[in-house]
Structure 1
Amino acid sequence: MLSCVPNSRRLSLVSAGLVLTTALLAGGCSGDMAPPGELLSVQPAAPTILSEPAAPAMMTSAPLAPAMFADGTETRIPSGPDAPMQNVLAYPVSAGVDANQMTSALPEGRVEQPIVTGIGTDNPQLATMSGYPAGNGSNLQVQDTSIQENPVQMAGLMPRISNPMSAPQWAGGMPAAEKACRNRLKRLGVTYRDLPAINSGKGCSIPYPVEVTELSGGIEIKPAAKLNCQITDAFAQWVKNELAPAARLRYLSGVKSIRQLSSYSCRTMNSKRGAPMSEHASGNAIDVGKITLNNGQSIAVRKPGFFSFREKSLLKTVRNDSCKYFTTVLGPGSDIHHRDHFHFDLRSRKRGYRHCD
């Protein structure tokens, strides 16, 4: 194909180029492969995009526990930033897998008890199991576990007073005079307790009685005396201010106990038929029959013997001084009814008269 002209080198080169160009053009038109040389043009191939196999409709996302047991035609997948993420089961599921076979993924999945999911959210659901229908929270019945308190009936009339000292008189409490009297007993060191009102019949009653067991200095009252507060106050002052100091002065011993023969008693004066009611019937009197000292000596209230100088002095002193505390004082020598005891009471008389015999 190549020819040379020896006489002219330039002409040879031009002729060789023309021959080569002609050969290339002829090969392109005939469909043969182009000889090696310069790449004239490139046609880019269109990219091929392979479609991935579609996942089952019920597993398009991480399944919720309620959806695994519902029909495959509907999938409830919460969306949004506040979507609850509890009770979510995430694992691969291939096509053709029966959702009912996946109950083992739930705790206790094969028991006959219903499974409630979505607890704590606004949409609790009941999982499908044998004998229990599937549904949303509208069909889920929740047992009411609230505590029902029985109504308390309150009395609407007079209140029930447990401590009369802390309630006004109109509400069943004590009058002011009774409260003040009990405050004095406390200051005197008297041991007592309030009793319910005593009413034994006509003329026999104590509206606000007390039961006295001990006086100032630990002096015992035997047996315990049922009295009103006023006579208790007077008797406690007499024992503290007169009897106890007189005993220490004459016997160099304190008083241990006092034997009382009568306090409250529903009877007439001196127990005589037809006589006025005694002050004992209102708890307004007390009788003293014997005084026992700490050294063991007992002093009976009676007319002392001729040589009983200390006993005579003690009884005379405390008897004379007692009229400062009581409105009636009777004892040995007054009458036959008081030959063996002192009688003290607070009987009211006209013009403040006191009877001390």
Structure 2
Amino acid sequence: MLSCVPGSRRARFPSKSLFLTVSLLAAGCSGEGGLVPPGEVLSMQQAAPVIRPEPAAPSIISAAETAFIPSAPDMPAQNVLAYPVADGVDMTQMTSALPEGNVSQPVVTGIGTDTLRLASAPAMEDYKPSSADIGAAQPSVSDQPPVTVEKKRGLLAGLMPRFSNPLSKPQWAGGMPASEKACRKRLKRLGVTYRDLPAISSGSGCSIPYPVEVTQLSGGIEIKPAAKLNCQITDAFAQWVKKELAPAARLRYVSGVKSINQLSSYSCRTMNSKRGAPMSEHAKGNAIDVGKVTLNNGTSISVRKPGFFAFREKSLLNNIRADSCKYFNTVLGPGSDVHHKDHFHFDLRARKSNYRHCD
């Protein structure tokens, strides 16, 4: 094996290939300028490739068509597709190569991505003015006479809640007071059939702010004709019929009450219809007159002074007169005066010291 030793004089070169090998080894032993060790080859940095820009293609868009090309930052004009076109080439043939064919509207590619591009622009000769352009040609507002708009006071609608149930409507919204609502709840518990009426006002001293029209009482007892009263007298009358009149009739006649004939409920008049007398409680819907009671067996009991031998009728009428004073403030009937010889008068007249007049 041939070694590289300084001062060696004996060296044989059997062939040209051996001579070339020895020359390469001599170059590696010389230090600087020789071969690079393998470790240093790995540490060498490679130079970055240089990409030369391609020359820009000439644009095929005319100056008239540049007005339709957007110049916003998200759609720069240089993104418009352009191809080199020789002289004499028909421009319509170029646009016919697009998927949409020969169109007069701008063709946009890249729909569905973040990079939209304008592929073509409409020709100016195909442009048709729109309604907006026609409106722009109209005279300006400054050329027209000023129009005076009258401002009307508006009402706020929808801010007030609507109540379908009269009992749920608060008083501040035009509803009933709490006492009237509580009274109507008592009527329903007693089984009274009634309906609310609009406020009644027939003049000075004749009014019912919250009237009711009563047609039937507990147990299906009818009121003939229907009576217009305030709720308070209706409540007292319904309790008297249910707790006193109906049980007394069943006890003496073994029959329930079918109907009650009332002679007067609301009536705008004075007491006993005398001129100059105070207003009657009937003028407030606060009184009711009973003239006849009809039983289920067909017996009719008229309110009048009974005969000497009418024991059951006399007992029933006396019971009515005595028990009714627990429910009313005034009770008048046959024997009280000439004006009440044929009916019972019941009312809730308020007196000082809660005095009750039962005659």
Q: Is TM-score (shorter-chain normalized) higher than 0.5?
A: yes
> Following the alignment from structure 1 to structure 2, what is the Cα–Cα distance between the partners of residues 162 and 179?
15
Equivalent pair of 2:65/2:122 in contact (CA under 8 Å)? no
User: 1:344 — aligned with what?
Assistant: 346
> Following the alignment from structure 1 to structure 2, what is the Cα–Cα distance between the partners of residues 190 and 117?
81
**1:157 to 1:282, Cα distance in 2 relative to 1, 3 A:** farther
Equivalent pair of 1:203/1:281 in contact (CA under 8 Å)? yes
User: 2:215 — aligned with what?
Assistant: 213
Equivalent pair of 1:204/1:281 in contact (CA under 8 Å)? yes
Q: How far does residue 184 in structure 1 lie from its aligned partner after superposition? A: 1.1
One-letter identity of the residue aligned with 1:215: L
Could you state the TM-score of these two structures normalised by the residue count of structure 2? 0.59
**1:74 to 1:237, Cα distance in 2 relative to 1, 3 A:** closer
> Following the alignment from structure 2 to structure 1, what is the Cα–Cα distance between the partners of residues 177 and 279?
25
User: 1:174 — aligned with what?
Assistant: 176
Say whether residues 1:291 and 2:321 are aligned partners: no
Say whether residues 1:354 and 2:356 are aligned partners: yes
User: 1:306 — aligned with what?
Assistant: 308
> Following the alignment from structure 1 to structure 2, what is the Cα–Cα distance between the partners of residues 341 and 117?
100
- Equivalent residue pairs, number: 264
> Following the alignment from structure 1 to structure 2, what is the Cα–Cα distance between the partners of residues 203 and 306?
43
Provide, for residues 103-153 of structure 1, a one-character-per-residue CA deviation record: whole Å limited to 9, x for no partner: xx99xxxxxxx9999999x9999988989469xxx9799xxxxxxxxx984
User: 1:195 — aligned with what?
Assistant: 197
Q: How far does residue 175 in structure 1 lie from its aligned partner after superposition? A: 2.0
Equivalent pair of 2:214/2:226 in contact (CA under 8 Å)? yes
Percent of paired sites with the same residue: 73
Say whether residues 1:330 and 2:332 are aligned partners: yes
Equivalent pair of 1:161/1:173 in contact (CA under 8 Å)? no
User: 2:232 — aligned with what?
Assistant: 230
Equivalent pair of 1:126/1:140 in contact (CA under 8 Å)? no
One-letter identity of the residue aligned with 2:331: V
Find the partner of 1:251 among 253, 258, 264: 253
Deviation >3 Å, runs of 4+: 71-76, 95-99, 114-120, 122-134, 138-141, 155-164
* Structure-to-structure mapping, 1:245-284, within 5 angstroms: 245-284=247-286
One-letter identity of the residue aligned with 1:229: C
**1:277 to 1:115, Cα distance in 2 relative to 1, 3 A:** farther
**1:210 to 1:140, Cα distance in 2 relative to 1, 3 A:** same
Unmatched segments (≥5 aa) in structure 1? 1-56, 59-70, 77-94, 107-113, 142-150
Provide, for residues 135-175 of structure 1, a one-character-per-residue CA deviation record: whole Å limited to 9, x for no partner: xxx9799xxxxxxxxx9842699988765422333332222
Q: How far does residue 178 in structure 1 lie from its aligned partner after superposition? A: 1.6
**1:174 to 1:116, Cα distance in 2 relative to 1, 3 A:** farther
3-state SS of paired residue (1:324) = coil
Could you state the TM-score of these two structures normalised by the residue count of structure 1? 0.59
One-letter identity of the residue aligned with 2:307: G
